[in-house]
Structure 1
Amino acid sequence: MGSLTRGEIDHSLHPRVNSADPVAPRPRPTEPPHLLRDDADAIAIATALAAELAQGAQLRDREGLLPLAELDRYSQSGLWSLLVPKAHGGPGLSHATLAKVISIVATGDPAVAQISQNHLAIVDLVDLDGTEEQKAMVFGWSLAGLRFGNAFSEFGTKSVGEFRTRVTFEGDEAVVNGEKFYTTGALLAHLVPIVAVGPDGIYLVFADRDAPGLSVTNDWSGFGQRTTASGSVRLDTVRVARNRAIRLRDTTEHPTVQGPVSQIIQAAIDAGIARAAIDETIRFVTTQSRPWIDSGKETAGEDPYTIQAIGDLKIRLHAAEALLEIAGRAIDRGYAEASLDTVTEATIRTAEAKVLTTQIALEATNRLFELAGTRSTLAVNGLDRHWRNARVHTLHDPVRWKFFHVGNWYLNGTHPPRHPWN
């Protein structure tokens, strides 16, 4: 996929973000996606996809173009089904591989990587809380190439964990009413899973993207992660089959790795942003930057302070990536045998990883300009997107609370809270 010039953009194929442009529900795939063979297959596919995504990432960010064709190729790659258990026909890969794959994809375009995060977390959530019939249904959808968006968070509530959206049951139907925001992926999904309060607890309700009463507004206006389509969803008496409403267990009473799975995907995206920024820094310094006048060097890459800074960034990136691997293995253990101790270990390890990925994403995207020099800030380079993406995406779930929960565990033996944001 080559980069398009401004004059070659077909806006009928690439709707803009935060606009009144209509975006019809995406057509369902006519063929099933690739079925991953193993970890190496997943990593190889992610690496090739990231290189392709990187070619158009600057253009999509600059013009605010939704990644329609790119997303189709991503979901048809098989990567969206990497967590589907082998017992249900999937590859059943590890959460360590999940983190690696997402970080690689995010290196190419973190907005595209973010669109898949809820789908991947939902596959695990259904495996943890769904009935056998519901698992077969949802996993079958994923293996057929259908994409899940999300309708979780809401404006105007006291906290992120409070919901006003309601589901009621009428015979064989579930009926949903409410409004959602930060609905990453819903605009371009085939199915929209909705978190709603029912008569006996919290439910995850799967509605078709084109279901009557379900409307998605393309109104995400963040200055970073611009093309994630994280706008709003309105639910006006949306009716679905009752078996599409999955009753979620209370994680405060039943320890599960639901939270760490969601968090490790977030952390992996930040690691990808950091890696892309460091790669851009090295490329720019070695091809375009001038050595500082006081260095006495012939090239910018020979500047001892620049050399030191790149070494520091690479070391901290590798430390963050190593913690992602450790966290993924801890999640695998908690997934295979859930207990208070295994889930706490997964939560703590993932929190540690998220602290480091947040720090290196912000530091790498900031130092890019310091090391590359004033020329790197020119609009034609589009390098500011890395900092904007890092600044916006790292706001998912504040790391100041990660420090607290990690310290409280080591110091006082206090188990961290169990919810999707921790």
Structure 2
Amino acid sequence: MELNVTSSADLPAPDAVGSRRSRARPRPARLAGDAEVLDAARRYAGTIAPGAVLRDRERRLPWQELEAYVASGLWAITVPHAHGGPEVSAAILAETIAVISDADGSLGQIPQNHYYAMEVLRVGGSASQQQFFYERVLAGDRFGNALAETGARDFKRRTRLTRGASGWRVDGRKFYCTGALYADWIPTLVVAEEDGRDVTYLAFVPRDAQGVTIVDDWDGFGQRVTGSGSVQFDDVRVDDAWVVPFQASFERPTTIGPIAQIMHAAIDLGQARGAFRATGEFVRERSRPWIDARVERAADDPLIIAQYGDLAIQIRAAEASLRRAARFVDAAQAAPDAESVAAASVAVAEARALTTTASLDAGSRLFELAGTAATLDGLGLDRFWRNARTHTLHDPVRWKYHAVGNYFLNGTLPPRHGAL
């Protein structure tokens, strides 16, 4: 794969708020109400679905599609009412992501970390930070992420935030930075030393700041155009106002973890729906019936019908579990305490277990039910399984079962972090 490397030297100087692209963008639509949000999501999904196969096969980065995504107003749907946004419920957020992921799994995942950063801001940001960044989002700015690091469990080796003579500086290297390639701001997990101990923060770094290098080196066999590559920070200056508490938000009960996880469940659900729909279309229009079925159409084969029905039940169960989990998340956001947040985490873990199974099974059984002709490379039907298999590895589903079992068997509250 040819690597795409960008740095501040390749880009114009940032404006007063560090945003490069937003200056040239028209202001996005302002959505109001659940029905308007979902209608915008469905319209947008209809525009991106036809190009999904080609983007995946040729790894065409979806710059224009993302501009349209932002213009639709969907990137601002979690901005609170008090700041002029729709402030949608967890259920509407999840369904929006599922609708987009049905059409294109990569495009469904790209804004996940954007919404995650918005939740960190809501929970831990100051009033002035919230006002500033919410306004930037309403104006069209995109957040990416730089959270994960490879082989750096030792805090001393992780990306550091240090105070220099001219202010805060960030140094380090990140990987799995989904969305950073397309972002205006890169919320970056950093470690700072305070009173002899290491404390984590989320530093919102302008993507065009001096010393930022983004490398498009994501080479996964699925989710190919999510922009999940590397970001290097070399003595990058960060304004005080762009550093938001992170660790402190997990030292008390908050919904940052459940929000992160319900979005991942929604991505998996959307991919399951996409594979299920593609299976039905292929079986009805192109598959040949097995000789022993003694029918004219594959869609009349009783064994195919039964297995397709089984997939339908799996997906409906996953949908119901996701809607139920969203109610727990909304309740925890309204009144966060140890019990409400734990209940939300467990409900979301249940949904993630079901959506993981549904997305993997739907992507695999597509070929079993559709037959050999479905494996032709030009059709791109393998993307459903590849995308599902790649995304469901984001964090191990086996630990979802452990958290659920431990909660109900032993009354043990699940840990508070972004992966549960």
So what's the TM-score if we normalise by structure 1? 0.93
Work out which of the residue numbers 169, 192, 202 in structure 2 matches 1:175.
Answer: 169
SS at 1:354 equivalent:
helix
Match of 2:152 in 1: 157
Report the CA distance between 1:397 and its aligned residue: 1.0
Q: Distance in 2 between matches of 1:296 and 1:373?
A: 17
- The amino acid across from 1:169 in the alignment is R
Work out which of the residue numbers 93, 99, 109 in structure 1 matches 2:88.
Answer: 93
Q: Distance in 1 between matches of 2:250 and 2:67?
A: 37
Query: Contact conserved, 2:5 with 2:214, CA < 8 A, in 1?
Result: no
- Farther off after superposition, 191-200 or 100-109: 191-200
Query: Contact conserved, 1:165 with 1:176, CA < 8 A, in 2?
Result: yes
Structure 1: gaps of 5 or more residues? 1-17
Q: Distance in 1 between matches of 2:142 and 2:21?
A: 11
Report the CA distance between 1:49 and its aligned residue: 1.1
Report the CA distance between 1:242 and its aligned residue: 1.0
Match of 1:281 in 2: 279
- The amino acid across from 1:173 in the alignment is G
Query: Contact conserved, 2:124 with 2:249, CA < 8 A, in 1?
Result: no
- The amino acid across from 1:20 in the alignment is L
Provide, for residues 70-120 of structure 1, a one-character-per-residue CA deviation record: whole Å limited to 9, x for no partner. Answer: 011112211111111101111111011000000000001110111100001
Work out which of the residue numbers 228, 231, 244 in structure 1 matches 2:229.
Answer: 231
SS at 2:291 equivalent:
coil
Q: Distance in 2 between matches of 1:22 and 1:173?
A: 27
Work out which of the residue numbers 27, 34, 37 in structure 2 matches 1:32.
Answer: 27
Query: Contact conserved, 2:147 with 2:189, CA < 8 A, in 1?
Result: yes
Match of 1:212 in 2: 210
SS at 1:35 equivalent:
coil
Work out which of the residue numbers 16, 20, 25 in structure 1 matches 2:3.
Answer: 20
- The amino acid across from 2:29 in the alignment is H
RMSD over aligned CA atoms reads 1.5
Q: Distance in 1 between matches of 2:25 and 2:175?
A: 30
Report the CA distance between 1:250 and its aligned residue: 3.0
- The amino acid across from 1:219 in the alignment is D
Asked whether 1:115 is paired with 2:115, we answer: no
Q: Distance in 2 between matches of 1:21 and 1:253?
A: 39
Work out which of the residue numbers 187, 193, 197 in structure 2 matches 1:193.
Answer: 187
- The amino acid across from 1:337 in the alignment is A
Asked whether 1:81 is paired with 2:76, we answer: yes
Asked whether 1:66 is paired with 2:61, we answer: yes
Match of 1:8 in 2: none
Asked whether 1:43 is paired with 2:26, we answer: no
Q: Distance in 1 between matches of 2:251 and 2:214?
A: 34
Match of 1:291 in 2: 289
Work out which of the residue numbers 114, 122, 129 in structure 2 matches 1:134.
Answer: 129
Match of 1:308 in 2: 306
SS at 1:235 equivalent:
strand
Match of 2:261 in 1: 263
So what's the TM-score if we normalise by structure 2? 0.93
Q: Distance in 1 between matches of 2:296 and 2:103?
A: 32
Query: Contact conserved, 1:172 with 1:242, CA < 8 A, in 2?
Result: no
Query: Contact conserved, 2:123 with 2:249, CA < 8 A, in 1?
Result: no
Kindly tell me the number of residue pairs found equivalent between the two proteins.
Answer: 404
- The amino acid across from 2:387 in the alignment is N
Asked whether 1:342 is paired with 2:340, we answer: yes
Q: Distance in 2 between matches of 1:291 and 1:177?
A: 60
Report the CA distance between 1:30 and its aligned residue: 2.7
Q: Distance in 1 between matches of 2:117 and 2:343?
A: 21
- The amino acid across from 2:203 in the alignment is V
- Farther off after superposition, 167-176 or 230-239: 167-176
Distance 1:151 1:341, change over 3 A: same
Q: Distance in 2 between matches of 1:340 and 1:240?
A: 34
Query: Contact conserved, 1:323 with 1:352, CA < 8 A, in 2?
Result: yes
SS at 1:148 equivalent:
coil
Query: Contact conserved, 2:360 with 2:388, CA < 8 A, in 1?
Result: yes
Match of 1:417 in 2: 415
- The amino acid across from 2:337 in the alignment is S
Distance 1:400 1:163, change over 3 A: farther
Report the CA distance between 1:173 and its aligned residue: 2.7
Query: Contact conserved, 2:276 with 2:311, CA < 8 A, in 1?
Result: yes
Q: Distance in 2 between matches of 1:79 and 1:30?
A: 15
Query: Contact conserved, 1:163 with 1:196, CA < 8 A, in 2?
Result: no
Work out which of the residue numbers 328, 351, 364 in structure 2 matches 1:330.
Answer: 328
Provide, for residues 145-186 of structure 1, a one-character-per-residue CA deviation record: whole Å limited to 9, x for no partner. Answer: 100011110011238x99710101246732100000000111
Report the CA distance between 1:248 and its aligned residue: 2.0
